[in-house]
């Protein structure tokens, strides 16, 4: 049985080593303009019909979420291109990240598939399509 060091404190220096799934390297997001029209939601219905594409709304607006692991993430959780990783990776702070709180907790709306979003648009628009 492994010995667990209960005195191990989680700091910003140790946190990423403890984050076995390297959570922040397993998805990308793209903010979108606030969808209002039927045509815009129709387009989102197409996008969300694809595997691993989700949609959420939070206090910042609407965002497409692509659950796709970075091809540079190595089996040990390290970045395979650390020295030349993109700026967004360099600038990402682990001070308060997915390891601390699941991002879903801040989402007002979350759609994981076509059926979810279709049910929403049917309520939102009196006539759909
Ligand atoms: S920044 Fe956060 S989510 Fe990313 S590897 Fe470190 S602890 Fe995990
Ligand atoms: S480039 Fe490196 S740090 Fe950036 S997402 Fe990929 S594995 Fe993670």
pLDDT tens figures, 86-117: 999 999 999 989 999 999 999 999 999 999 99
pLDDT in the model for residue 11 = 79
99 lies in some domain? yes
Residue list, ligand 1 pocket, CB within 6 Å: 15-16, 19, 22-24, 94, 97-99
Pocket of ligand 2 contains residue 25 by CB under 6 Å? yes
**Closest residue by CA, ligand 1 atom 7:** 16
Q: Is 23 in the pocket of ligand 2 (CB under 6 A)?
A: no
Q: How far apart are CA 111 and CA 88, in angstroms?
A: 25
Residue 15 maps to a domain: no
Kindly state whether residue 102 falls inside one of the protein's structural domains: yes
CA dist., res. 71 & res. 81, Å (int): 10
Assess if residue 45 is contained within a domain. yes
In a domain, 43, yes or no: yes
Which ligand is nearest the CA of 85, by number?
A: 2
What is the residue range of 91's domain? 23-124
User: How far apart are the CA of 35 and the centre of ligand 1, in A?
Assistant: 31
Which residue's structure tokens are 């967004």? 88
Q: Is residue 57 part of a domain?
A: yes
Write down the pTM of the prediction.
0.88
For residue 81, the ligand closest to its alpha carbon is: 2
- Is there a domain that residue 106 lies in? yes
Edge-to-edge strand list for the sheet holding 61-66: 28-32, 61-66, 53-58, 109-111
Q: How many domains does the chain have?
A: 1
Domain-located, residue 71: yes
Residue with the larger pLDDT of the pair 28 and 128 = 28
Structure-block tokens of residue 73 = 């993430």
């Amino acid at each position: 049985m492994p010995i667990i060091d209960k005195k191990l404190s989680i700091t910003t220096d140790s946190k990423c080593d403890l984050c076995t799934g390297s959570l922040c390297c397993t998805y990308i997001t793209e903010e979108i303009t606030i969808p209002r029209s039927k045509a815009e939601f129709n387009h989102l219905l197409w996008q969300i019909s694809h595997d691993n594409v989700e949609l959420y709304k939070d206090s910042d607006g609407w965002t497409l979420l692509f659950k796709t692991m970075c091809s540079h993430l190595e089996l040990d959780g390290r970045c395979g291109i650390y020295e030349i990783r993109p700026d967004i990776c360099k600038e990402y702070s682990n001070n308060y990240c997915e390891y601390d709180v699941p991002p879903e907790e801040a989402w007002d709306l979350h759609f994981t598939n076509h059926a979810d979003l279709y049910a929403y648009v049917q309520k939102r628009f009196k006539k759909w399509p």
